[in-house]
Amino acid sequence: MSQHQDQKLDGQPDASRRKFLNTAAFAGLAGAGLSVGLSACKQEQAPAPAQNAPAAAPTAAAGAHKIEVPPGELDTYYSFSSGGHSGDVRIYGLPSGRQLKSIPVFNVDCMSGWGITNESKAIVGTRPDGRLKYITGDTHHVHPSYTDGTYDGKYIFVNDKIHSRLARIRLDTMECDKITDLPNVQGFHGTFPDKRDPVDAAVNHTTRVFCGAEFSIPLPNDGHGLDDTAAYRSLFTCVDAETMQVRWQVLIDGNCDLVATSYDGKLAATNQYNVEMGIHYPEMMAGEWDACLFFNVARIEEAVKAGKVTHIGSSKVPVVDGRKEANADPKTALTCYVPIPKNPHGVNTSPDGKYYACSGKLSPTASLISHEQVLKWFDGELKEAREAVVAEPEIGLGPLHTGFDNKGNAYTTLFLDSQIVKWNLDAAIKSFQGDKTAVPVVDRLDVHYQPGHGFTSMGETKEADGQYFISDNKFSKDRFLPVGPLHPETAQMIDISGDKMVLLADHSVTSEPHDSIVIRRDIIKTRQIYDMNDFPNAVKDPKESGLTREGNKVTIKLTSQAPAYSLPEFRVKKGDEVTIILTNHDKVEDLTHGFAIPKHDINFAVSPQETKSVTFKVDQPGVYWCYCTHFCHALHLEMRSRMIVEA
């Protein structure tokens, strides 16, 4: 880089940091003409990598077309991403990286009215006074429902770590339709739907969702045993995918973290980093070994059916005993603890259904566990559960999450090395068996910076296509224009279709995503217009519009049709409890209206043929202009109604 390029730009962070840039990536970005607003920057800097590293240019140019989505064309993949402590789920188009939508789940969203309308409050849950039970959430893992080993486009499940809730999003409307509180647990982190029934082969779709609790607590957590930390325990939970009721829980030793499921439905797994059951972090990393814990789903459900259960506190959920002592005989065991080196993070199932990759985090290894071997352990055919580990390559420092391609390779994020490491499963197995010629690690690529989750396109299905790997990095530092102390994160897109990984693009993502998945677009079939009949309270005919009163409870029925509401005004009295029901009668796609009321904290949107309602108190006499907040028509500004509150 020239002296000139190393100078500070407008007092921004030192541009010399660009020497850290991966040259292939930079040429790729410049070639794609992505950064319209950065054209000056591009002219100034784009030639540099080409001059300095001519060898890199052809690779990057070859990859560049892969991220170009010209105006008017659509992306080939959807990416669904947990928002982290923003409490939402985001939808991106890939390869462009364009954000398409934020689905409010555990957060309050004044654009759509999530957490404001009566319908959304009923899903999120309220306190006796009508306020939301919680307005905070922390989404970590998003996993869709399966049919026959691949995504069926029906649901996405997402956790809330703060309040231990599982939410379901309908993929036809991309809206949350159910939220379930998990009893007896804290720090609900990993979640994964099953892919098949373990017993009934005809059920080849998701019927259960498994949930891993990371923190151990006194059971019941009612104020007793606060300091008896040795008695704190954690549970693994199964939720019914349709009813969203909690089916059962398993009391375990150690903790849960991430969750994975087998393609045959027989096993669910969670990695454990705190088998020490420590309270403070030095205790949690005291041991050299932790575990990957497997659950025999059919046996657990037999035990539940046979009534071999307990209940914790006032919870009605049946709890089976999955602790080590109660499961010493593999032939009847509900659980199998496979020893894994030091504080593993992440467990991922390979697309062929044969293996689970569980990374060491504090050990530089990834452990490959054989599905068949774990089943053999449950049949009493292994001496030790550790015999289920069939490979343990040294892959780098701080290995966390693993994605897979369709050619037998794994891609693991290395948090400390700030790299993605590509390793071959067969070579790793051969090397583990003593073959000195087998070299597990085939490629490494720097990412920017410190990757957490990483995942491949369709990689959590049997239709893994080996096209892209996304590295959800925990730090973006100098990769984007500075926006103050809170940085965006980087989701870096990597081409994995060739022998070498190629960094294609830096996508900025609002803080603070954790995990994402990449789905082929043909799998998703959305509704573009609601069915009015789906809403029991719909105002089906504009002639129904008007006011009904019962004591101080007033109901206003209202319809919208651009550019007007069916009532130009309505009169209520100070002290009334007002419910407004609004049905949007427009049938044109993309014709959404809003409804906001000043000084009453009401704002929501109704899409074509949708109905929503709000309930609130009026206690200040006066005139309040209710208006349309969502641009709908040339007369959008004129689209109003007067709420007249009489003294």
116 or 464: whose CB is closer to ligand CUA? 116
Minimum gap (Å) between residue 36 Cβ and ligand CUA = 29
Binds ligand CUA by CB under 6 A, chosen from 197, 304, 630, 645: 630
Chain center to CA of 560: 34
115 or 344: whose CB is closer to Ca ion? 344
Minimum gap (Å) between residue 164 Cβ and Ca ion = 22
Strand partners, 93: 78
Minimum gap (Å) between residue 254 Cβ and Ca ion = 8
Give dist(CA 517, CA 81) in Å, integer: 7
Kind and range of the H or E element at 401? strand 399-404
Give dist(CA 606, CA 584) in Å, integer: 6
631 binds, among Ca ion, ligand CUA, none (CB under 5 to 8 A by kind): ligand CUA
Minimum gap (Å) between residue 145 Cβ and Ca ion = 33
Give dist(CA 168, CA 209) in Å, integer: 10
290 or 515: whose CB is closer to Ca ion? 290
Three-class secondary structure of residue 479 per DSSP: coil
534 DSSP assignment: G
Minimum gap (Å) between residue 628 Cβ and ligand CUA = 3
Mask for 546-585, x = binds ligand CUA (CB under 6 A)? ----------------xx----------------------
Minimum gap (Å) between residue 601 Cβ and ligand CUA = 20
222 or 283: whose CB is closer to Ca ion? 283
167 or 639: whose CB is closer to ligand CUA? 639
Comparing C-alpha atoms, which of 535, 519, 550 is closest to residue 606?
A: 535
Chain center to CA of 490: 16
386 binds, among Ca ion, ligand CUA, none (CB under 5 to 8 A by kind): none
Minimum gap (Å) between residue 276 Cβ and Ca ion = 5
Mask for 590-629, x = binds ligand CUA (CB under 6 A)? ---x----------------------------------x-
295 or 595: whose CB is closer to ligand CUA? 595
Minimum gap (Å) between residue 605 Cβ and ligand CUA = 9
290 binds, among Ca ion, ligand CUA, none (CB under 5 to 8 A by kind): Ca ion
Q: Which two tokens stand for residue 457?
A: 């396109």
489 binds, among ligand CUA, Ca ion, none (CB under 5 to 8 A by kind): none
184 and 220 Cβ atoms separated by less than 8 Å: yes
308 binds, among ligand CUA, Ca ion, none (CB under 5 to 8 A by kind): none
Minimum gap (Å) between residue 568 Cβ and ligand CUA = 14
Minimum gap (Å) between residue 639 Cβ and ligand CUA = 4
Minimum gap (Å) between residue 121 Cβ and ligand CUA = 23
Q: Which stretch binds Ca ion (CB under 5 A): 120-128, 258-266, 282-290, 469-477?
A: 282-290
Binds Ca ion by CB under 5 A, chosen from 194, 257, 290, 417: 290
Give dist(CA 150, CA 171) in Å, integer: 15
Strand partners, 235: 251
183 and 312 Cβ atoms separated by less than 8 Å: yes
639 binds, among ligand CUA, Ca ion, none (CB under 5 to 8 A by kind): ligand CUA
Minimum gap (Å) between residue 538 Cβ and ligand CUA = 18
Give dist(CA 644, CA 647) in Å, integer: 10
Strand-strand pairing, 577-584 and 569-573: unpaired
98 or 587: whose CB is closer to ligand CUA? 587
Phi-psi region of 11 (alpha: psi -120 to 50; beta: other; left: phi over 0): left
Give dist(CA 268, CA 461) in Å, integer: 15
343 binds, among ligand CUA, Ca ion, none (CB under 5 to 8 A by kind): Ca ion
408 or 563: whose CB is closer to ligand CUA? 563
Give dist(CA 64, CA 45) in Å, integer: 17
Residue count at the site for ligand CUA (CB under 6 A)? 10
106 or 624: whose CB is closer to ligand CUA? 624
Comparing C-alpha atoms, which of 10, 8, 144, 166 is closest to residue 81?
A: 144
Give dist(CA 350, CA 391) in Å, integer: 14
581 and 565 Cβ atoms separated by less than 8 Å: no
| Residue length of the chain | 647
Kind and range of the H or E element at 400? strand 399-404
Q: Which residue has the tokens 């669904």?
A: 80
Strand-strand pairing, 165-170 and 150-160: antiparallel
607 and 642 Cβ atoms separated by less than 8 Å: no
Q: Which stretch binds Ca ion (CB under 5 A): 97-105, 286-294, 393-401, 622-630?
A: 286-294
**Is residue 343 near Ca ion by the rule CB under 5 A?**
yes
Comparing C-alpha atoms, which of 566, 555, 532 is closest to residue 639?
A: 566
Chain positions contacting ligand CUA, by CB under 6 A: 562-563, 593, 628, 630-633, 636, 639
Chain positions contacting Ca ion, by CB under 5 A: 290, 343
